[in-house]
């Protein structure tokens, strides 16, 4: 091998190793560039229709003006849920957590202030009864970086089966949990976490479908709503040495990234889905046919309640609509995915490019 060939081979090998290193250990700048390019593709594609099956019940500015600032008295939330159920809602998911007792409740005031009421109303129990008597799935929050030693995650009536487990788990493991107060949680049929986890750029592009807490896998609010609606007794998590590959509910197969997250195929900017003001529901001033048999998510778009996120189409996107997209993606079967094997294929492509470079330059 002459000197020219040796130099060509050396530069090709060094270049291949350098590109492979950048690919495997991508610096934040490269990851940000990759995400930005995908965002541009979303914007070029534009809006696409929803299934029309997911509706958001919005605790909006109008609702806060009509019924007062948040948090509302729990008997009012109970009235909202009961009204939706009576009007024909299919299944209701709460993108809200009631982690403390209602301090406006007569039962709470009776205990704290010694009012000595004979039968004080307990607003938490009223809400618990409404949750129990309707097709409502509660929401709660996992604490990613904060420990909560005394708190336990709510149990679910289904089981989660992790198939083909490996020694290394890629599923996100939070340190703590913020559950609903027992008077409400114990009445619920089931519940799911509703964490939206922005990436380093602040965008919500991937939404976790599962998390592992104290060595137990728990489903997200959207995933648990799907399990309950499909009457499936279990959720199957298929994993391999490279991480999670998919989540399955009955015959419904949902591809995920290695962390058990869904890359959201956003339909468009905020309010692409049907929104109905909670105030209109409570005042019985809305079209009931809009919710009959539908998937309902109760959440907020009010800026004062700080549940706004950034996503490819919109920098002030209601967090509840991210969950609406997840359900809609799965119902329509057009979820986006990046197979775990694609990384190996990309590394092989990098090696092939530099091998081709060597062969081309070596031929002269």
How does DSSP assign 107-139, residue by residue?
HHHHHHHT---SS---HHHHHHHHHHTTTEEEE
> Which residues, 6 or more positions from 91, have their beta carbon under 8 angstroms from its beta carbon?
135, 136, 137, 225, 228, 229, 295, 296
Q: d(Cα 364, Cα 7) in Å, to the nearest integer?
A: 13
- Are 244 and 166 in contact by the 8 Å Cβ rule? The answer is no
Q: Is 248 helix (H, G, I), strand (E, B) or coil?
A: strand
Question: Is the per-residue pLDDT at 1 higher than 80?
Answer: no
pLDDT of residue 310: 86
pLDDT tier, 189 (very low <50, low <70, confident <90, very high otherwise):
very high
Least confident of 16-30, 67-81, 230-244: 16-30
- Residue of 315, 302, 330, 303 lying closest to 221 (CA atoms): 330
Question: Is the per-residue pLDDT at 135 higher than 90?
Answer: yes
Question: Is the per-residue pLDDT at 30 higher than 50?
Answer: no
- Residue 199's H or E segment, with its range, is none
Question: Is the per-residue pLDDT at 117 higher than 70?
Answer: no
pLDDT tier, 25 (very low <50, low <70, confident <90, very high otherwise):
very low
Mean pLDDT of 25-34: 51
The pTM assigned to this predicted structure is: 0.85
- Residue of 208, 321, 336, 323 lying closest to 274 (CA atoms): 321
Select the more confidently predicted residue: 16 or 52.
52
pLDDT tier, 20 (very low <50, low <70, confident <90, very high otherwise):
very low
Q: d(Cα 67, Cα 70) in Å, to the nearest integer?
A: 9
Mean pLDDT of 168-178: 90
Hey, what are 310's tokens? 């950034």
Question: Is the per-residue pLDDT at 227 higher than 80?
Answer: yes
Mean pLDDT of 327-353: 70
Mean pLDDT of 338-345: 56
- Are 357 and 4 in contact by the 8 Å Cβ rule? The answer is no
pLDDT of residue 315: 84
Question: Is the per-residue pLDDT at 344 higher than 60?
Answer: no
Quote the mean pLDDT of the chain.
85
- Are 221 and 95 in contact by the 8 Å Cβ rule? The answer is yes
pLDDT tier, 29 (very low <50, low <70, confident <90, very high otherwise):
very low
């Amino acid at each position: 091998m002459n000197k020219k060939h040796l130099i060509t081979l050396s530069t090709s090998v060094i270049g291949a190793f350098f590109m492979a290193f950048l690919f495997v250990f991508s610096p934040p700048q490269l990851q940000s560039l990759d995400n930005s390019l995908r965002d541009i593709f979303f914007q070029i594609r534009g809006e696409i229709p929803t299934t029309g099956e997911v509706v958001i019940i919005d605790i909006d500015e109008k609702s806060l003006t009509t019924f007062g600032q948040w948090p509302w008295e729990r008997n009012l939330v109970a009235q909202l849920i009961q009204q939706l159920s009576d009007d024909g809602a299919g299944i209701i998911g709460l993108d809200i957590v009631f982690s403390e007792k209602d301090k406006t409740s007569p039962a709470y005031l009776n205990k704290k202030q010694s009012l000595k009421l004979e039968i004080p109303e307990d607003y938490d129990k009223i809400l618990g009864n409404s949750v129990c008597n309707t097709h409502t799935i509660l929401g709660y929050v996992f604490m990613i970086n904060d420990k909560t030693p005394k708190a336990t995650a709510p149990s679910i009536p289904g089981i989660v089966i992790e198939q083909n487990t490996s020694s290394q788990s890629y599923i996100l493991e939070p340190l703590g949990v913020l559950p609903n107060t027992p008077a409400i949680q114990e009445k619920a049929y089931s519940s799911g976490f509703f964490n939206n986890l922005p990436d380093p750029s602040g965008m919500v592009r991937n939404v976790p479908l599962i998390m592992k807490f104290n060595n137990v896998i728990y489903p997200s609010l959207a995933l648990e709503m799907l399990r309950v609606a499909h009457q499936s007794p279990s959720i199957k998590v298929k994993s391999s040495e490279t991480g999670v590959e998919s989540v399955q509910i009955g015959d419904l197969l949902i591809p995920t990234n290695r962390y058990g997250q869904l890359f959201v195929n956003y339909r468009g900017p905020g309010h692409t889905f049907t929104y109905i003001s909670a105030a209109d529901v409570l005042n019985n001033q809305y079209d009931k046919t809009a919710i009959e048999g539908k998937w309902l998510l109760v959440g907020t778009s009010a800026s004062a309640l700080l549940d706004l996120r950034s996503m490819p189409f919109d920098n002030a996107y209601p967090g509840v609509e991210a969950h609406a997209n997840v359900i809609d993606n799965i119902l329509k079967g057009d979820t986006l995915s990046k197979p775990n094997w694609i990384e190996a294929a990309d590394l092989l492509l990098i090696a092939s490019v530099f091998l081709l470079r060597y062969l081309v330059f070596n031929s002269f």
